[in-house]
Amino acid sequence: MRRNMWGILCVLTVGLCGSLMAAEPQQGTPKKGEAIYVQHCAGCHGTSGDGLGPDIKELIVPPANFLAPKSRTKTDMDLYLAVKQGVLFSPMHGWADRLSDQEIRDVLRYIRSLAPFNPIG
Ligand code: HEC
Protein backbone atom coordinates (compact mmCIF):
# COMPACT_ATOMS: atom_id res chain seq x y z
CA MET A 1 0.00 0.00 0.00
CA ARG A 2 2.79 2.39 1.00
CA ARG A 3 4.62 1.61 -2.21
CA ASN A 4 1.58 2.53 -4.26
CA MET A 5 1.34 5.90 -2.53
CA TRP A 6 4.92 6.75 -3.47
CA GLY A 7 4.22 5.60 -6.97
CA ILE A 8 1.26 7.92 -7.27
CA LEU A 9 3.21 10.80 -5.73
CA CYS A 10 6.02 10.20 -8.16
CA VAL A 11 3.71 10.26 -11.17
CA LEU A 12 2.08 13.46 -9.88
CA THR A 13 5.44 15.19 -9.39
CA VAL A 14 6.74 14.19 -12.79
CA GLY A 15 3.45 15.30 -14.36
CA LEU A 16 3.60 18.67 -12.64
CA CYS A 17 7.22 19.34 -13.60
CA GLY A 18 6.46 18.25 -17.13
CA SER A 19 3.63 20.73 -17.44
CA LEU A 20 5.74 23.52 -15.95
CA MET A 21 8.46 22.81 -18.44
CA ALA A 22 5.95 22.72 -21.26
CA ALA A 23 4.68 26.13 -20.11
CA GLU A 24 8.12 27.70 -20.53
CA PRO A 25 8.33 28.10 -24.35
CA GLN A 26 4.84 29.64 -24.28
CA GLN A 27 6.60 32.91 -23.47
CA GLY A 28 7.95 33.11 -27.01
CA THR A 29 11.40 33.11 -28.56
CA PRO A 30 12.36 36.42 -30.24
CA LYS A 31 14.80 34.68 -32.58
CA LYS A 32 12.06 32.48 -34.08
CA GLY A 33 9.75 35.47 -34.09
CA GLU A 34 12.17 37.46 -36.20
CA ALA A 35 11.93 34.95 -39.06
CA ILE A 36 8.12 35.06 -38.92
CA TYR A 37 8.14 38.85 -38.76
CA VAL A 38 10.43 39.24 -41.76
CA GLN A 39 8.35 36.80 -43.79
CA HIS A 40 4.82 37.96 -42.92
CA CYS A 41 4.81 41.32 -41.19
CA ALA A 42 7.72 43.53 -42.28
CA GLY A 43 6.12 44.24 -45.67
CA CYS A 44 3.56 46.40 -43.86
CA HIS A 45 5.02 47.13 -40.43
CA GLY A 46 8.58 47.78 -41.67
CA THR A 47 11.82 46.04 -40.71
CA SER A 48 12.30 48.35 -37.74
CA GLY A 49 8.60 48.23 -36.74
CA ASP A 50 7.94 51.85 -37.74
CA GLY A 51 4.93 50.98 -39.92
CA LEU A 52 6.65 52.04 -43.13
CA GLY A 53 7.10 48.73 -44.95
CA PRO A 54 7.32 48.59 -48.77
CA ASP A 55 3.75 47.22 -49.22
CA ILE A 56 1.82 50.05 -47.59
CA LYS A 57 1.16 52.30 -50.58
CA GLU A 58 -2.22 50.83 -51.38
CA LEU A 59 -3.46 50.50 -47.82
CA ILE A 60 -6.32 52.73 -46.71
CA VAL A 61 -5.44 52.29 -43.02
CA PRO A 62 -1.70 52.62 -42.36
CA PRO A 63 -0.09 49.81 -40.38
CA ALA A 64 0.64 50.34 -36.71
CA ASN A 65 3.97 51.93 -35.87
CA PHE A 66 5.15 49.71 -33.01
CA LEU A 67 7.70 52.31 -31.92
CA ALA A 68 4.99 54.92 -31.23
CA PRO A 69 3.45 55.38 -27.77
CA LYS A 70 0.06 54.25 -29.12
CA SER A 71 1.43 50.71 -29.56
CA ARG A 72 4.00 50.69 -26.78
CA THR A 73 1.41 51.50 -24.13
CA LYS A 74 -0.66 48.49 -25.17
CA THR A 75 -0.26 45.30 -23.17
CA ASP A 76 1.09 42.07 -24.62
CA MET A 77 -2.47 40.75 -24.46
CA ASP A 78 -3.79 43.67 -26.56
CA LEU A 79 -1.20 43.01 -29.24
CA TYR A 80 -1.67 39.26 -29.04
CA LEU A 81 -5.38 39.61 -29.73
CA ALA A 82 -4.74 42.05 -32.60
CA VAL A 83 -2.48 39.49 -34.28
CA LYS A 84 -4.70 36.50 -33.56
CA GLN A 85 -8.06 38.06 -34.44
CA GLY A 86 -7.05 41.00 -36.60
CA VAL A 87 -8.01 44.65 -36.32
CA LEU A 88 -11.57 45.46 -37.37
CA PHE A 89 -12.03 47.63 -40.48
CA SER A 90 -8.36 47.46 -41.38
CA PRO A 91 -6.15 45.41 -43.69
CA MET A 92 -4.72 43.74 -40.58
CA HIS A 93 -6.47 40.38 -40.81
CA GLY A 94 -6.27 37.78 -38.07
CA TRP A 95 -3.44 35.25 -38.25
CA ALA A 96 -5.13 32.52 -36.22
CA ASP A 97 -5.47 30.32 -39.30
CA ARG A 98 -1.83 30.71 -40.37
CA LEU A 99 0.22 31.05 -37.19
CA SER A 100 0.07 28.84 -34.12
CA ASP A 101 -0.34 30.43 -30.67
CA GLN A 102 3.34 29.73 -30.11
CA GLU A 103 4.32 31.48 -33.33
CA ILE A 104 2.19 34.50 -32.40
CA ARG A 105 3.96 34.66 -29.03
CA ASP A 106 7.34 34.35 -30.76
CA VAL A 107 6.57 37.18 -33.17
CA LEU A 108 5.25 39.36 -30.33
CA ARG A 109 8.44 38.80 -28.34
CA TYR A 110 10.34 39.99 -31.39
CA ILE A 111 8.13 43.09 -31.76
CA ARG A 112 8.61 43.84 -28.05
CA SER A 113 12.37 43.55 -28.52
CA LEU A 114 12.14 46.27 -31.20
CA ALA A 115 9.76 48.36 -29.13
CA PRO A 116 9.53 47.41 -25.44
CA PHE A 117 6.28 47.85 -23.51
CA ASN A 118 6.24 51.31 -21.95
CA PRO A 119 3.11 52.17 -19.92
CA ILE A 120 3.82 55.93 -20.09
CA GLY A 121 4.54 55.96 -23.81
C1 HEC B 1 -1.42 44.17 -45.04
C2 HEC B 1 -0.53 44.86 -44.15
C3 HEC B 1 -0.26 44.21 -42.81
C4 HEC B 1 0.38 43.02 -42.57
C5 HEC B 1 0.94 42.02 -43.58
C6 HEC B 1 0.44 42.87 -41.11
N7 HEC B 1 -0.14 43.94 -40.51
FE8 HEC B 1 -0.31 44.24 -38.53
N9 HEC B 1 -1.45 45.91 -38.84
C10 HEC B 1 -1.75 46.43 -40.08
C11 HEC B 1 -2.71 47.51 -39.92
C12 HEC B 1 -3.32 48.33 -41.05
C13 HEC B 1 -2.98 47.60 -38.53
C14 HEC B 1 -4.00 48.52 -37.84
C15 HEC B 1 -3.42 49.83 -37.44
C16 HEC B 1 -4.41 50.64 -36.66
O17 HEC B 1 -5.33 50.08 -36.04
O18 HEC B 1 -4.26 51.86 -36.65
C19 HEC B 1 -2.15 46.60 -37.88
C20 HEC B 1 -2.11 46.41 -36.52
C21 HEC B 1 -1.29 45.47 -35.90
C22 HEC B 1 -1.15 45.33 -34.47
C23 HEC B 1 -1.87 46.15 -33.41
C24 HEC B 1 -0.98 47.28 -33.00
C25 HEC B 1 -1.62 48.23 -32.06
O26 HEC B 1 -0.92 49.10 -31.58
O27 HEC B 1 -2.83 48.11 -31.80
C28 HEC B 1 -0.25 44.33 -34.25
C29 HEC B 1 0.27 43.83 -32.91
C30 HEC B 1 0.15 43.83 -35.55
N31 HEC B 1 -0.49 44.55 -36.52
C32 HEC B 1 1.04 42.81 -35.73
C33 HEC B 1 1.27 42.20 -36.96
C34 HEC B 1 2.03 40.98 -37.12
C35 HEC B 1 2.69 40.22 -35.99
C36 HEC B 1 2.02 40.69 -38.45
C37 HEC B 1 2.64 39.49 -39.13
C38 HEC B 1 2.27 38.19 -38.64
C39 HEC B 1 1.26 41.75 -39.12
N40 HEC B 1 0.83 42.64 -38.18
C41 HEC B 1 1.05 41.80 -40.48
C42 HEC B 1 -1.26 45.99 -41.30
C43 HEC B 1 -0.59 44.77 -41.51
CATH number for the domain spanning 47: value is 1.10.760.10
SS3 68: coil
Q: How far is the CA of 106 from the centre of ligand 1 (A)?
A: 15
**For residue 44, which phi and psi values (nearest 5 degrees)?**
-100, -50
**Position 74 in a domain:** yes
**Position 69 in a domain:** yes
- In whole angstroms, what is the distance from residue 37 CA to residue 52 CA? 14
Say if ligand 1 is within 6 A of residue 71 CB: yes
**For residue 25, which phi and psi values (nearest 5 degrees)?**
-65, -15
The model carries a pTM of 0.84
Tell me: pLDDT of 25 over 90. Answer: no
Q: What angle do CA 112, 66, 74 make, to 5 degrees?
A: 70
The domain of 77 spans 28-114
* Most ligand 1 atoms within 8 A of CB, residue of 78, 92, 100, 103 to mutate: 92
Listed in order, strand segments (DSSP E) in the chain are none
Say which residue, 59 or 14, is predicted with more confidence.
Answer: 59
- In whole angstroms, what is the distance from residue 7 CA to residue 20 CA? 20
Q: How far is the CA of 83 from the centre of ligand 1 (A)?
A: 7
Average pLDDT, the chain: 87
pLDDT in tens, 93-115: 999 999 999 999 999 999 999 99
* Most ligand 1 atoms within 8 A of CB, residue of 45, 80, 100, 106 to mutate: 45
User: What domain count does the chain have?
Assistant: 1
Which pLDDT belongs to residue 3?
A: 64
**Position 120 in a domain:** no
- In whole angstroms, what is the distance from residue 71 CA to residue 32 CA? 22
**Position 21 in a domain:** no
**Position 119 in a domain:** no
